[in-house]
A and B are shown apart, each in its own frame.
Chain A
Amino acid sequence: MNTPQGASPVTATRPTPTPLAIASLQPELTGLNPDAPVKLRAQDVSVRYGDRMAVRDVTLDVREHSVMAFIGPSGCGKSTVLRCFDRMNDLIPGAAVEGRIELDGEDVYAPSVLPVEVRRKVGLVFQRPNPFPMSIYENVAFGPRRHGEQDKARLDDVVERALRQAALWDEVKDDLRKKSGLSLSGGQQQRLCIARTLATDPEVILMDEPCSALDPIATLKIEELIAQLKADYTIVIVTHNMQQAARVSDRTAFFTLGEDRAGYLVELDETLRIFTNPANQLTEDYVSGRFG
């Protein structure tokens, strides 16, 4: 974790996007490395819920070990696109995904691909912290157990490593089996959910407004965490908080609602450019607060 990204938590503690100006001078350190392989790709992706088109014609790619932020007004399809990458849209009756979603160049929606396998590689952190009503230990061990790990010593290791990675270990190490995941504070619960995801050893972590139910201090901790996790994982985060997008992400995708009430991708660029000098007037209006 002592890679140059160690500097990023500093970025996360500042409320303004200025530190990114420095970061962008060193693209290879910020997840803007143009040589990094493409981890996730959406090609002409449209999602319908029954007759209603939720989001249309989205094409974007996310490079390995980078953080991409999805911003935009409510209902513009950010979460919908996010949930294509781990096929969680499959759970919604009537949802239909068109176009192509790739993970490492492989079609995630190919008939031979099992959603379960996709979700083992692509973790999801939900908007509302949703730990299981079980002990802290069992929460983190849930994924590995379901994937067949039974060895107690190895499970102990995985649980400790995941909790350390999620910066929660020191706060809970004495109560692993004594306390329910639900007895933690909101911010701790969300870090527990992140630890639970990390324990399944994913390659990609999707975060669906992970801080919207948290107070500013808990939010800051999650943002610091994201900056650290970037070294080992590819992260896509949906957020309503534009400062958060500015603080944590390398690139930002701005979505909005079209006249047909379907969401679409307006602009995708380096985060700094989106917030300082966007190409599209709609983006400009949104990031400067003139929207709606």
Chain B
Amino acid sequence: MRRSLAADRLATAVLWAVAVFVILVLVAIIAYFVIESIPTFSLAFLVADPSLTDIGGIGPVLWNSAYMLVLTMLLTVPLGVLGGIYMAEYAGEGWLTNAIRFSQELISSVPSIVVGLFGFALFVAATGWGFTALGGALTLMVFNLPLLLRLSEQAIRTVPADERAASLALGATKWQTIRHAVLPVAIPGVVTGIVLTAGRVFGEAAALLFTAGLSTPTRYDFSNLNPLDPQSPWSPFRNATTLSVFIWKSNSEGLGNYVHEVANMSSMVLIVMVLAFNLGSRWLGGALQRRVSGL
């Protein structure tokens, strides 16, 4: 009896310690970049153009990151979620399903630098587009789609069979059941999947080096809506260095007087953006669920 009580206390203490350690690591990372950034940070940094001689800013690359995020999610979310529904509700078991699962796992485990090379061969060289935002987004889709597919499938599968049976017993069709009984319950899980994939878009550098490129047009003119003009901020056919690629570049081969400061401040912005995005998506998921459940 005394032994099991001691073991119980020990388990509690160890689990607490692990949790505290994880949180401390996270806090330390954020604190490091915040402290390093404070002396030089100003809001102007967020919108200014990069510069070789002065600190400059990250305006264009921040825009590129947001643009790339939206473009990638536009490509990935519909396919990922619909594919997840197919895998969970329609696919059943069989060689095709197994083949899809196998490919999912395989692509998920390919290093992103390799996916980047594949993207280069296909979306940069073979298409003749050169380094473009669209090429980058398609490359990101290559390894985000299997992840989102898997996560949405799991979210849909965790919906209790009772919900489906109840809906079908009320005379709803299969699609009505999926749309009105299953998806509302699965929304938080699907949103989590979307947030995870979105986080990878924001954070990914390796796969974008050879696809979206290491440079970007500066002095964006947002009134230029021509989607084929490589200088337009709205064009998918332009070089589009994202924030993470920019950090990598500043840190490893940057020139100029403030390379270190720029990398630190950019990292802080990246972390804050990812954090804000996570919290925002949680709120969105909750709001969506309240809406569909009529509460």
The answer to whether the Cβ of B180 comes within 8 Å of any Cβ in the partner chain is: yes
Q: Count of A residues near B, CB < 8 Å? A: 32
Contact A126 B293 (CB under 8 A): no
Contact with B along A131-167 (1 / 0, CB 8 A): 1111101100011011100000000000000000000
The answer to whether the Cβ of B165 comes within 8 Å of any Cβ in the partner chain is: yes
Contact B166 A180 (CB under 8 A): no
With A130-B163, A134-B184 known as contacts, the answer to whether A88 contacts B294 (CB < 8 A) is no
Give complex CA distance A214, B49 in Å: 68
| Residues of B contacting A: mostly | helix
Near B by CB (< 8 A), chain A positions 186-226 give: 193, 196-197, 200
With A126-B162, A126-B166 known as contacts, the answer to whether A134 contacts B171 (CB < 8 A) is no
**Nearest residue, chain B, Cβ from A137:** B294
Contact A135 B294 (CB under 8 A): yes
**Nearest residue, chain B, Cβ from A181:** B293
With A88-B165, A126-B162, A178-B295 known as contacts, the answer to whether A132 contacts B171 (CB < 8 A) is no
Sort chain B's interface into a size bin.
Answer: 20 to 34
Contact A132 B166 (CB under 8 A): yes
Contact with B along A36-75 (1 / 0, CB 8 A): 0000000000000000000000000000000000000000
The answer to whether the Cβ of A10 comes within 8 Å of any Cβ in the partner chain is: no
Cross-chain contact of B162 among A128, A147, A200 (Cβ < 8 A): A128
Contact A119 B173 (CB under 8 A): no
Cross-chain pairs A/B with CB under 8 angstroms, 21 sampled = A91-B168, A116-B171, A116-B172, A117-B171, A119-B169, A119-B171, A126-B169, A128-B162, A130-B163, A131-B166, A132-B167, A133-B293, A134-B294, A135-B295, A142-B167, A143-B170, A143-B172, A145-B180, A146-B171, A146-B172, A196-B166
The chain B residues found within 8 Å of chain A, CB to CB, are 160, 162-173, 176, 180-181, 184-185, 292-295
The chain A residues found within 8 Å of chain B, CB to CB, are 86, 88, 91, 116-117, 119-120, 123-124, 126, 128, 130-135, 137-138, 142-143, 145-147, 177-180, 193, 196-197, 200
